[in-house]
Homo-oligomer: A and B are copies of this chain.
Amino acid sequence: MTSTVIVDAMGGDFPLNVPVQAAIDLCNEHNDLNIILTGSEAEIKSVITGRIPSNFSIVNAEDEILMNDPPTVAFRKKQNSSVHKAVELLVNNEGDAFFSAGNTGAIVATAFFKSGLLPGISRPALATVYPSATFHKLIVLDLGATIEPKPENIKDYAILGSAYSFLITGKEEPVVGILNVGTEENKGSRLVVESAELIRKATSLNFIGFVEGNQIFVDSCADVVVTDAFTGNIALKTVEGLNETIHTLLKSKIAPPKWGKVGSFFFKRIFGETLSKFQYNLYGAALLLGVNHLIGIGHGKSEETAYKNAILRLKKHIESQFIRKFKEKVDKELQGK
């Protein structure tokens, strides 16, 4: 089968050059992949050097969404943006998935209004797979779709996360927890206490209650951790910052002039694998769960590798019929209770 991934050429900190180059490389490498770039056709063409692959195409979109445009402004006033066009293509079945490293709020608002929510789901959520020491795949959501959710939304995140975990791990009843400052039932904000009650009452999920920040990595106590977007985003970015810092510190200690070839050898063997586990560009895209189409959102800083990994991840999900199976699993949970 051939998969069609739509890519926002205008999003992120490195628009045009980076997404265009990633797309052309991937089109050359994969015969079973079509890529449609949305954005200013003239600008996209201006950065292409060499032959354009036949499985690469452009859909023109002139409006520019800025990183600090409020979501509803981006959605209502910029109806000819690269994000708008991309979601329209999805809705018209002219593409199977969409990836952008652009303004998250704008993408979420556009997806919310144009792709629409799954029946029974109150809010979409941005989910990512966290690596762990034991190669356990942990899903954390929401990372940025809704800054101030209600318990009802958190309950839905638990359903969405559980279905996602099932699809990538095969576990029929993944363990779900809520991120909190303690594991005791009486600890935490009203939001987490009320959300826990609601998940217990309104779902048949395999729910274990609260998990703490350190358990995200150290214990494999949960397959899915739900949280509000504020907390989720800060936890994710803090990890990113710490990882970069450790990397920098270690590299500064083992610079070749200081440690020679032996040091370099150890550095690469030991760190290459370990620290890269925690680098966001390996994962590329977080999935926007809860809408009717397959949408991946990348880090603003995404470079070529991140774009490529994200697009290839979406291609895999298309091939495995992720969206159809995901909807079925969510529906089963909603019907089951």
Contact = CB atoms under 8 A, between A and B. Distances in A.
Interface string A63-84: 0000110100000000000000
A241 interface: yes
Contacts of A216: 238, 241-242
Interface string A207-246: 0000011111110000000010111011111111111111
Nearest to A252: B133
B238 A235 contact: yes
A209 to B, nearest CB: 13
A contacts with B: majority SS: helix
A36 to B, nearest CB: 29
Contacts of A113: none
A158 B335 CA distance: 49
Interface of A: 67-68, 70, 132-133, 144, 147-148, 179, 181-182, 184, 186-190, 212-218, 227, 229-231, 233-246, 248-250, 253-254, 259, 262-263, 266-267, 269-271, 273-275, 277-278
Given A148-B190, A239-B242, A253 B233 contact: no
A26 B242 CA distance: 33
A236 B249 contact: no
Contacts of A230: 181, 188-189, 231
A217 B241 contact: yes
Given A133-B249, A181-B229, A213 B241 contact: yes
A236 to B, nearest CB: 7
Which of A230, A233, A273 is most buried by chain B, counting CB atoms within 10 A of its CB?
Answer: A230
Contacts of A270: 250, 253-254, 266-267
B249 A269 contact: no
A213 B236 CA distance: 8
Contacts of A184: 67-68
